[in-house]
Chain A
Amino acid sequence: MTAIPQKTSQALANRSIGSRLSGLLTQESVLALALVIISFAVTIVNPNFLAARNISDILSNSSYIAIAAIGMSLVIISGNIDISIGSLIGLLATIAGRLAIGAEAGGYPEIFAFIIPIVVGVASGALIGFFVAYLHVPAIVVSLGMLSVLKGGLILWTGGEWIYNLPEWFKFAQQRPLGIPAPVYLMISLTIIGAIWMKYSATGRAIYAVGGNREAARLSGISEKRIIMTVFMINGFMVSIAALLFATQFNAIQSTVPSGLELLVITSAVVGGVSILGGTGTVIGSTLGAVLVHVIPAAMIFASISDYWRQAVQGLLILFTVLVDLYRRNQQSYARRK
């Protein structure tokens, strides 16, 4: 029988060599490269950029975003999204602060100020997961609704008041064991644990499967509902850790959360190689993405570019990464058709 002529099959073979090369150019290595280049460029303009204090500040500031991004990457890899985490962070931070003050006044152990927010965070994640997995409400809508419920709830509760007089033991994030800020330790350890778990555990692989090819995952006997619940609960956990870092970093806790926090986290994940179409991405990538996302505004400041454009740059960054991702996918499926 006739078949595709030899020339075409030759071209197909060559294409696979090309894709082998592009395999080396992973998202993670590109990110690391980008970080290096940007730091370099800014240092030329303003040498103070590379000062140790500055670097540790950038890393410290990006820590809570990076940790939240770990949870977000899992959510996105599984094919969903969560835009309520900003409000959740605000709420949990306030809970932590109030509990800390209460514990200081006596009445209950100090550890509550850390544990209760985590429990609430995981519960919130479970709630979202429930709506998505069992009631078939799209994640975007659930989290949109959750976002406003939490935000409104927070304002109602705090009445706009900031929380001061935080006890000293509470200001965990300000510690610097061995000169490195505590948040950075957390960021690195959670990233490593997350990366290992995603790569080596059955659940981790199942998350990729559900996000990559839902139908196939079902046929392979993977319980989609359980995976989605797990993913949102882990996200809740990560967000609560991030909230604790957020709360313990300064001497006061705001009554509102800086706007666009969820977008910052999503940007970190997407820049880090997590595809919004689901099914791919890594935890290490999203952490690198979080750092990059913080390096850019810092670089802007050092290079004397107005900070008001920060959010605009973020939006562009997301767009750019998404386009690259779509392009990559298009190329792949075209190669497949031949």
Chain B
Amino acid sequence: MDVLLKLSDISKSFPGVRALSDVQLEVRKGEVHALLGENGAGKSTLIKIISGVHKPDKGEVRLDGKLVSFNSPRDAQANGIATIYQELILYPELTVAENIFIGHAPRRSLGPLHWVNWREMNDRAAEILQSLNIHDLDVRRKVGSLNIGNRQRVEIAKALSINARILIMDEPTAALTEADVSKLFDIVRLLRQRGVSIIYISHRLNEVFELADRVTVLRDGQYIDTQAVSATTERELVTKMVGRTIDNLFPKLPPKIGEPVLQVRDLVHLPFTRGVSFEVRAGEIVGLSGLVGSGRSELAQVIFGIMPAQSGDIFVSGKKVRIQDPAQAINLGIAYVPEDRGTQGLVKQMVIRENVSLAVLQSLASSGFIRRGRERSLAERAIEQLSIRAYSPEQIVGKLSGGNQQKVVVSKWLASKPRLLIMDEPTRGVDVGAKSEIHRLMSELAVEQGLAILMISSELPEIMGMSDRILVVRDGRIVAEYARADVTQEKIAAAMMGGQPKFENANPQEVSRTS
């Protein structure tokens, strides 16, 4: 079979982080090629290089054997490479046909005047949809009124309208219903038959086995292996994705577990949280694992009051409470280190001191006036306690590296003296050194200070290395629970992706889950 796209020795770095080192990828004509790897493995960076958003620092890209270099997404599109991102790039107020042909609408001209040929556009759009076996979508509807499944189909049609030879799909099934997923698979198979190559990124191994011809695994920005799907197993792939890096990255002290600090019963906030019950005890680190889109962050935000629960109960230290906004949560001793530190966790234009004090302003003030002395010493303590690499508390946070920024966020929340610390992807985008420091801190907080920690993470080694108990979330529900001693990567991965029976309860005496 011919090789259509070949990436050799691709390396790419961003400030503070090396995203890709010497990565290889080879895509053949008419194949479905899956790209596997954990969050942070470098998959997005790789596809952004293929689709022209980034240029590699090193390495070459060859299309049909010829060396190419894309300066913009448009260049890549002109060469027949189309990408469907998770956040679909559509115009809600324009029609389906118009979105499909955006930027290259069919025109008619009369001398110097051109105008958009609506009839031809609508007809051709309908044709494309027909060719994908989509018969129930009216091309004249505004895209804003469509559900997510249909929007995705519009994106696929868009790719076809530029005669894409390579279609990149990034986690396409993350937000789809079962019916939509099977329609998507049909479309992918159809496209493959027509000779279109598809680079398919997904965490869901069963999809990979159902659809893909070959699979490439990346880990920590490095190329691990490429295999024919028929020649490998789920277990083998998981091992390659996850590696054996655990132990020294996860310094963990022997736990001292006390009374429940947080108990949650039948918590509901549609459509993300659909009836969740669990508890977290003092001194315990509970790991919450699951796929992107499974609803973990949303669950945390429900508990923290960003999206107050629609129904269900929350108990803090045995007392029933209602949490309607973050201020209430903070007063109850709950702290939330958010997933996206840039937009949710930090005010980048402010200095370290101002960020660290942001959640505890009231306690640093007397009659409303912030006590500069208190604030400053809080910041200095934070810098020391977490080994934040900055030369003074007056440094602007936006200029710090990812790891140090994360430490600032964590110290902000520690300043609020919480009893329950929810950490959402605590070491995402953080270098090795800072990672292990944060982990050490977590363990110390739990064991020495009796903090209850709820850790959300998409990195299996982190989950397995740090948690005393592991809960697996899928589609807004908790589907499995494991104790540290009984868990394996494969069990978690399986529960996350739905390949195994639903309820794997290692400790029958634990708090019940809802289905």
A16 with B147, Cβ < 8 A, contacts A9-B177, A200-B115 known: yes
- Chain B positions 73 through 90: 1 when the CB is less than 8 Å from some CB of chain A, otherwise 0: 110000000000000011
Please measure, in the bound complex, the distance between the C-alpha atom of A12 and the C-alpha atom of B90, giving whole angstroms: 20
Contact (Cβ within 8 A) A200 B181: no
A202 is an interface residue with CB less than 8 A from chain B: yes
| Residue pair B145, A208 in contact (C-beta under 8 Å) | no
Interface contact B116-A221, CB-CB below 8 Å: no
Q: Complex formed: what's the CA distance from A220 to B115 in Å?
A: 19
- Shortest Cβ distance from A278 into B: residue: B93
Q: Which of A1, A19, A202, A336 interacts with B105 by CB under 8 Å?
A: A202
Q: Is A2 touching B475 in the complex (CB atoms < 8 A)?
A: yes
* A interface majority secondary structure: helix
- Known contacts: A216-B91, A220-B103. The answer to whether A4 contacts B271 by CB under 8 A is yes
Give the complex CA separation of A196 and B118 in angstroms: 12
B236 at the A/B interface (Cβ < 8 Å)?
no
Residue of B nearest to A220 (CB): B103
Other-chain contact of B147, A3, A12, A199 (Cβ < 8 Å): A12
Residues 204 to 238 of chain A near chain B (Cβ within 8 Å): 204-205, 208-209, 212-213, 215-216, 219-222
Q: A2-B474, A4-B271, A205-B116 are in contact. Are A336 and B89 (CB under 8 A)?
A: no
Q: Mark A38-77, 1 if CB is under 8 A from B, else 0.
A: 0000000000000000000000000000000000000000
Taken residue by residue from 307 to 338, chain A's Cβ proximity to chain B (1 for < 8 Å, 0 otherwise) reads as 00000000000000000000000001001111
Tell me the complex Cα distance, A4–B93, Å. 26
Residue A165 CB within 8 A of the other chain: no
- In the assembled complex, the CB of B160 is this many whole angstroms from the nearest CB of chain A, namely 16
Q: Give 1 or 0 for each of B165-186: 1 = CB within 8 Å of chain A CB.
A: 0000000000011110100000
A280 on interface, CB distance cutoff 8 Å: yes
**Interface members, chain B 123-179 (any A CB < 8 Å):** 141-142, 144-148, 176-179
Pairwise interchain contact B144-A332, C-beta atoms closer than 8 A: yes
Cβ of B102 under 8 Å from chain A: yes
Interface 1/0 per residue, B247-288 and A, CB below 8 Å:
000000000000000000000000100000000000000000
Contact of A279 among B93, B102, B176, B179 (CB under 8 A): B93
A3 touches B181 (CB 8 A): yes
B328 close to chain A: CB less than 8 A: no
CB <8 Å contact, B94 and A209: yes
Which residue from chain A places its CB closest to the CB of B115 in the assembled complex? A200
Closest chain-B Cβ to A144's Cβ sits at a distance in Å of: 25
| Smallest CB separation, B476 vs chain A (Å) | 10
How close is B137's CB to chain A, nearest CB, in angstroms? 10
Q: Are B91 and A212 in contact (CB under 8 A)?
A: yes
With A9-B177, A205-B98, A338-B271: A200-B498 Cβ-Cβ less than 8 Å: no
Closest to B140 in A: A23
A213–B103 touching, CB < 8 Å:
no
Q: Is A201 an interface residue (CB 8 A)?
A: yes
Report the minimal beta-carbon distance from A190 to chain B, rounded to whole angstroms. 17
A15–B141 alpha-carbon span in the complex (Å)? 13
Would you call A221 and B103 a contact (CB within 8 A)?
Answer: yes
Chain A residue nearest to B73 in the complex (CB): A219
Residues of A within 8 A of B142 (CB): 23
What residues of A have a CB within 8 angstroms of the CB of B428 in the complex? none
Q: Which residues of B contact A209 (CB under 8 A)?
A: 91, 94, 102
Could you say which residues of chain A place their CB within 8 Å of the CB of B204?
1
- Residues of A contacting B90 in the complex (Cβ-Cβ under 8 angstroms): 213, 216
Q: Report the bound CA distance from A208 to B179 in whole Å.
A: 33
A325 to B94 alpha-carbon distance, docked (Å):
16
Q: Of B94, B103, B176, which is within 8 A of A208 by CB?
A: B94
* A3-B176, A205-B116 known; A216-B89 Cβ under 8 A: yes
Which B residues lie within 8 Å of A19 (CB)? Answer: 145
In B100-115, the 8 Å CB interface with A consists of: 102-103, 105, 107, 114-115
Residues in A with CB closer than 8 Å to B118 are: 199-200
Residues of chain A in range 5-39 having any CB-CB distance to chain B below 8 Å: 8-9, 12, 15-16, 19-20, 23
| Contacting residue for B148 out of A2, A220, A332, A336, CB 8 A | A336
Interface flag for B449 (CB, 8 Å): no
The reply to whether the CB of B243 lies closer than 8 angstroms to some CB of chain A is no
Expressed in whole angstroms, the Cα–Cα distance for A3 and B293 within the complex equals 12
Q: Judging by beta carbons under 8 Å apart, are B114 and A202 in contact? A: yes
Residues of B close to A279: CB separation below 8 A = 91-93
Instruction: Report A-chain residues with C-beta under 8 Å of the C-beta of B147.
Output: 12, 15-16, 335-336, 338
B114 to chain A, nearest CB (A): 7
Q: Write out the residue numbers on chain A whose beta carbons fall within 8 Å of the beta carbon of B358.
A: none
Are the C-beta atoms of A2 and B498 separated by less than 8 Å? yes
A-facing residues in B181-209 (Cβ within 8 Å)? 181, 204, 206
Interface residues on A, range: 35 or more
- Alpha-carbon distance A2/B475, docked complex (angstroms): 8
From residue A18, how far is it (CB to closest CB) to chain B in Å? 9
* B445 on interface, CB distance cutoff 8 Å: no
* B497 CB within 8 Å of chain A: yes
B-side contacts of A8, CB under 8 Å: 177, 271
Contacts of B92 in A (CB 8 A): 212-213, 279, 332
Determine whether the beta carbon of B116 is less than 8 Å from that of A202. Answer: yes
Determine whether the beta carbon of A201 is less than 8 Å from that of B116.
Answer: yes
Which residues of the partner chain B approach A212 to less than 8 Å between Cβ atoms? Answer: 91-94
CB neighbours (8 Å) of A219 from chain B are: 73, 89
Residue of A nearest to B272 (CB): A337
Q: A209 to B145, alpha carbons, bound, how many Å?
A: 17
Complex: chain A residue closest to B207, CB-CB: A1
For residue B494, give the distance in angstroms from its CB to the closest CB of chain A: 12
Residues of B within 8 A of A220 (CB): 102-103
Q: Is the CB of B116 within 8 A of A1?
A: no
- Give CA–CA (A338, B147) in the complex, Å: 8
Complex Cα spacing A15 to B114, Å:
38
When chains A and B are docked, how far (Å) is the Cα of A4 from the Cα of B498?
A: 14
Residues of B within 8 A of A336 (CB): 144, 147-148
Does A3 contact B116, Cβ atoms closer than 8 Å?
A: no
Bound Cα distance from A16 to B105, whole angstroms: 26
Contact A208 B91 (CB under 8 A): yes
Chain A residue contacts of B115, Cβ below 8 A = 196, 200-201
Q: When chains A and B are docked, how far (Å) is the Cα of A337 from the Cα of B102? A: 24
Give Cα A263 to B71, complex, Å.
44
Smallest CB-CB separation from A328: which chain B residue? Answer: B144
Q: CA of A56 to CA of B179 in the docked complex: distance in angstroms?
A: 58
Contact A205 B74 (CB under 8 A): no
Give chain B nearest CB distance to A74 CB in angstroms.
15
- A19 vs B497: C-alpha distance in the bound complex, in angstroms? 34
CA distance A15 to B148 in the complex (A): 13
| Nearest 7 pairs of A and B residues by beta carbon | A3-B178, A200-B115, A1-B498, A19-B145, A280-B93, A220-B103, A212-B91
9 contacts between A and B (CB under 8 A): A2-B475, A3-B177, A3-B475, A4-B177, A9-B179, A200-B115, A202-B107, A208-B93, A280-B93
A-side residues, CB < 8 A to B, are 1-4, 8-9, 12, 15-16, 19-20, 23, 196, 199-202, 204-205, 208-209, 212-213, 215-216, 219-222, 279-280, 332, 335-338
**Given A16-B147, A209-B94, A213-B92, 7 additional A-B pairs, CB 8 A:** A1-B206, A1-B498, A3-B178, A202-B114, A212-B93, A219-B89, A336-B144
